[in-house]
Amino acid sequence: LSPAIPILYSDRGCPFAHRVLALVEHLGCPIEGHESALGEKPSGVFRHSASGRIPLLAHGELAITESRVMLEYLSETFDFADAYPAELQGRTLHRHAMAVVDDFFASALFRPSDVEIAGLRLDDAVRDLATATATVSPRPCLLAFHVAPIWLRFRVWHPNGAVTRAIEANPPLRDWLDAAVALEAITRTAPDPAVHRGDLARARQAGLLPSPSP
Ligand SMILES: N[C@@H](CCC(=O)N[C@@H](CS)C(=O)NCC(=O)O)C(=O)O
């Protein structure tokens, strides 16, 4: 249980694993990927957890199942100087936005018609994300790697959903997020569009994802 390099267990197309793969791509740091087919568990994951919850990052004695914590861990391990804005206020806004992305936007990917999730309303969540992104131009940073995989999937999974429309109604935020999706580290680690569409159709058929919102 002491891998020399971190191991990432995930299934294909997972938006949370995409965050980690993008950071790893950007930093050029070593990682071993164990990827299963969509909806299946990658072999070896149960050595690290009873539930096999994925994504899971294993390194030495550590087994982490929150992608946000994986980003923190890898950026500290491999010295990512631009992980956060240098100023305390900017850093705090980015950390807050990352929590809001997980509590609201990431959940909304799977429940796209809900405008209130975990006590957060869509308009508050959009405002928090807009405030944080307004502090820096779009560039490789943890917030960009955290949110871009989610926004990319809103565009593909729910092009006309309530969340997508709310973000499109805020052009500076929309442009920042589109620029984050266009970052080299994100595009190089994004699912192939044809594979993504096929997996999306299968996930909908299997009831893993709701049908597109009206
Ligand atoms: N908050 C977690 C979410 C992880 C998550 O929801 N993963 C999806 C797979 S893409 C899932 O269904 N996990 C549950 C499981 O693997 O049993 C993170 O950011 O890593």
In sequence order, the β-bridge partners of residue 59 are: 62
* Shortest-distance Cα residue to atom 1 of ligand 1: 66
Mutate to test the pocket of ligand 1, among 10, 14, 36 (most ligand atoms within 8 A of CB): 14
Three-point CA angle 178, 23, 26, nearest 5°:
85
Q: Say how far apart CA 108 and CA 110 lie, in whole Å.
A: 5
pLDDT for res 4: 87
Which pTM does this prediction carry? 0.94
H or E segment and range at residue 36: strand 32-36
Residues 61-85: pLDDT tens digits? 999 999 999 999 999 999 999 999 9
Give yes or no for residue 54 CB within 6 A of ligand 1: yes
Tokens for 14, please give them.
Answer: 């997972």
CA distances from 185 to 53, 88, 95, 152 (A): 25, 26, 20, 13
Give yes or no for residue 13 CB within 6 A of ligand 1: no
Sequence-ordered alpha helix ranges (H) in 28-141: 67-77, 88-100, 107-110, 122-133
Q: Which of 154, 149, 153 is nearest to 167 (CA)?
A: 154
Give yes or no for residue 14 CB within 6 A of ligand 1: yes
Residues 97-144: pLDDT tens digits? 999 999 999 999 988 778 888 888 999 999 999 999 999 999 999 999
Q: Say how far apart CA 62 and CA 69 lie, in whole Å.
A: 11
